[in-house]
Each structure stands twice: as structure tokens, then as C-alpha cells.
């Protein structure tokens, strides 16, 4: 997006929600600079696998030793001419390093400084470490998922906390702060908590409880398995069909095509759900998944196939929507990856070439930040940059 091409993002995080936010911002056209620890000193770090987080699409990268005073001074200099800084240290660490939001926003009042963390910068859980499953747990999400055979909440199939609760939450907050800056001239400090983002995704159930005292559990509501017409059924070939016939006219269409019209006027009859569920189960087992899709999907019944990841990547609809693009790896050759999520914008961008693990754009970045060749050489000789 041309409107964002001059915005500079300094990303001090490597993986997780912050990396997902950076991927979105780079796809939006911002100049994202990924800052990783130096390798020479054996810094503790996590390098994403080559295909993760867009494989560095649209980003430049450099390595800086933040344990060295001159390394921290360099970050302060880069932040002074950046529009956005993203970090994901544990609460308080950035400030102890001298690169916290108070110091950097004083140097650059227009800076949008975004801290991403699991539980936020304050509160009783701020010091906890965690991962996706933990944030799903604390937000109430896991308690509303279906139970496995042992009566334990089933593991979700995707890292929705990192992706939506954290990455999209951070990117959206950054965009809002940049828009506000166009009017105020001032940057902003953003305390992005993955758990807060997950809680927002749980708004239907949380707002319901706050307003009525009614709590959602597996099997207690429309969307958590109470009714036979909202769930997943096995087909004859061992594949699955999802059913979401909430509206009455869609439900009646489904009953008609399944030849189960005895249930057409009993959609919300609690006493009929067991019998209805068994009838649906038996009927769906009578044909293969794709046969059911051919019969039902286009007939206003709210069904869809449960696709494997491999099937997703070859699905004709998702292909027609240009959800995939190609990239080039220096050793592995050409491969595909998800395209930028840019509704309404052209996706025909140049093919991304994955940089070799040891590659950095440090000199180019520092020259653009007005450092002299002598200063760059000195920092490199000191081991502050790679």
C-alpha cells in the first residue's frame, strides 16, 4: 500500500505475536527492520524456520548486541528516526536496557512504541511466561471448546492467541495509533496483551455472562454443541462435514435434502436433539464427504467440508481467491506461501526471495540512518553489529 511505504518499523522481537504483527505491517507496505541478537557471542535466541512468518517477506534485517552499551545506543538512534517500534521482552526488561518506551518516546515524540506480551505490562500475571495454550486458557476460550474422550478441553488446531489475539491486535493498534498521529502529531505507547486480545475474541460469551449471569460451557449453547444442527459429522470415507444450519430456512433445507423432514419443525426442541443427532450421524455416514458437499453446499444448507491442510492448499476456491504466492529459497528453490492479507489491494507483488540465514542488511540500514562508514566499521569491529 503506497500510503504506508515511508513508514519505518523497528522490530526487536523474533517470534510469536510481534512477528505476526510485523508480517502484517510489512505486507501493508511498511519498511520493517528485524533486529536480532548477534550470533558471534552465542546470544540466546530463537530463529524462525525459513518458511515461518512470511519468510521475512518485505523485511530487512540486522543483528545488534543489546548487551553492549554501543549496541543499545544504536537502537536509540534508530528509534529516533523510526515511526514504530515493536518489542516483546518480559515486562521491565526494555526499560532496564535503556530502550524502554519512556526513554525512546522522549527521544522521538512521534514514535508509536508497541510492547507485546502474554499478559500485559502490569497486573498479577504480568510476570508469568506462557504460550498460546496458556492465553487461551486464561481468556476462557479453552473452557468453551469441546471436551475430548477424557473430559478434558480439546487442543485447538491453530495458534489463534498469537495470531489474532496478539498479532492482529498489535497490528490494528499500531495502525490506529498512526492514524491518530496524523491529527495529534504525537506517538503513543501501546501495551498489547495477547490475553486481552483473546478475551476480546470471547466477547459473545463474556458479554453474555456479564449481562445475564449465564455461563457458556461445552454443549450448553448454540455454538458449543447443544444442537445437532451445529457440529461436525463423519462421512463414509472417514472425512468430515461441518454443519452450521442456524437459521430456520437453512435448517429446513438441510432436513429436506437429508430426507429427515420429521425434524423440520423441531429445530430448537431440546428433547429432539439426541434423536436428531443420531439421525444426522447415520445419514452422513451413508455417503462420502465430497458427495455430501456436492449435494448440500450450494443448496443453502450451511455445510462445508472439513479440509486437511494439504486439501486447503489445493482447494479451488482458495486458489481462485489468490491466497497463495510463490517465493524463492537460495538452496531449496521455489516454494509457495500464503499471500498478503490485503482485501481490495493488488497481490501481484514481486516474488519474495528468502535471505540466507547469515544475510543481513545492516550496512544499508545504518547508512540510511545517517551513520558514516567509519561509525559502521567501528560498531562491527566492536562486535555490536553483524
Give Cβ neighbours of residue 150 (< 8 Å, ≥ 6 apart).
none
Inter-residue contact 14 to 46 (CB < 8 Å) = yes
**Cα–Cα distance between 33 and 360 in angstroms, integer?**
10
Q: What is the 3-state secondary structure (H, E, C) of 200-243?
A: HHCHHHHHHHHHHCCCCCCCCCHHHCCCCCEEEEECCCCCEEEE
Distances (CA, A) of 335 to 22, 51, 318, 326, 355: 21, 9, 17, 6, 14
Per-residue HEC secondary structure of 309-358 comes to HHHHHHCHHHHHCCCEEEEEECCCEEEEEECCCCCCCCCCCCCEECCCCC
Question: Residue written as cell 444426522?
Answer: 280
CA distance 56 to 386: 17
Q: Identify which of 132, 175, 194 has the alpha carbon closest to the alpha carbon of residue 157.
A: 132
Which residues are the active-site residues?
131, 162
Q: Which helix (H) or strand (E) holds 133?
A: helix 132-138
Amino acid at each position: 500500500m503506497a500510503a504506508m511505504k515511508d513508514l519505518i518499523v523497528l522490530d526487536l522481537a523474533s517470534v510469536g505475536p510481534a512477528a505476526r504483527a510485523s508480517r502484517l505491517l510489512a505486507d501493508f507496505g511498511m519498511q520493517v527492520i528485524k533486529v536480532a541478537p548477534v550470533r558471534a557471542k552465542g546470544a540466546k535466541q530463537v530463529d524462525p524456520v525459513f518458511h515461518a512468518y512470511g519468510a521475512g517477506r518485505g523485511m530487512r534485517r540486522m543483528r545488534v548486541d543489546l548487551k553492549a552499551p554501543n549496541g543499545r545506543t544504536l537502537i536509540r538512534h534508530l528509534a529516533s528516526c523510526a515511526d514504530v517500534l515493536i518489542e516483546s521482552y518480559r515486562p521491565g526488561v526494555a526499560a532496564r536496557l535503556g530502550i524502554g518506551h519512556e526513554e525512546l518516546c522522549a527521544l522521538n515524540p512521534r514514535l508509536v512504541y508497541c510492547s507485546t506480551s502474554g499478559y500485559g505490562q502490569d497486573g498479577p500475571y504480568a510476570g508469568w511466561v506462557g504460550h498460546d495454550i496458556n492465553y487461551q486458557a486464561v481468556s476462557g476460550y479453552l473452557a468453551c471448546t469441546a471436551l475430548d474422550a477424557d473430559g478434558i478441553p480439546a487442543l485447538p488446531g491453530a495458534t489463534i492467541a498469537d495470531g489474532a489475539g496478539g498479532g492482529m491486535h498489535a497490528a490494528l493498534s499500531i495502525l490506529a495509533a498512526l492514524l491518530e498521529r496524523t491529527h495529534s502529531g504525537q506517538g503513543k505507547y501501546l501495551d498489547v496483551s495477547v490475553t486481552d486480545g483473546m478475551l476480546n475474541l470471547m466477547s459473545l460469551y463474556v458479554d453474555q455472562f456479564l449481562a445475564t449471569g449465564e455461563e457458556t460451557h461445552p454443549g450448553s449453547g448454540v455454538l458449543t454443541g447443544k444442537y445437532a444442527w451445529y457440529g461436525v459429522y463423519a462421512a463414509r470415507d472417514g472425512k468430515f462435514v461441518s454443519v452450521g444450519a442456524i437459521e430456520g430456512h437453512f435448517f429446513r433445507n438441510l432436513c429436506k435434502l437429508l430426507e429427515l423432514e420429521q425434524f423440520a419443525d423441531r429445530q430448537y426442541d431440546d428433547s429432539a436433539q439426541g434423536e436428531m443427532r443420531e439421525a444426522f450421524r447415520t445419514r452422513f455416514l451413508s455417503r462420502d464427504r465430497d458427495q455430501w458437499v456436492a449435494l448440500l453446499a450450494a443448496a443453502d444448507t450451511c455445510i462445508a467440508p472439513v479440509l486437511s491442510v494439504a486439501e486447503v492448499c489445493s482447494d479451488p476456491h482458495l486458489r481462485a481467491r489468490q491466497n497463495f504466492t510463490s517465493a524463492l529459497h537460495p538452496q531449496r528453490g521455489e516454494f509457495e506461501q500464503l499471500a498478503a492479507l490485503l482485501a481490495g489491494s493488488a497481490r501481484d507483488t514481486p516474488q519474495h526471495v528468502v535471505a540466507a540465514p547469515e544475510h543481513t542488511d545492516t550496512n544499508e540500514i545504518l547508512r540510511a540512518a545517517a551513520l558514516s562508514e567509519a561509525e559502521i566499521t567501528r560498531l562491527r569491529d566492536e562486535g555490536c553489529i553483524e
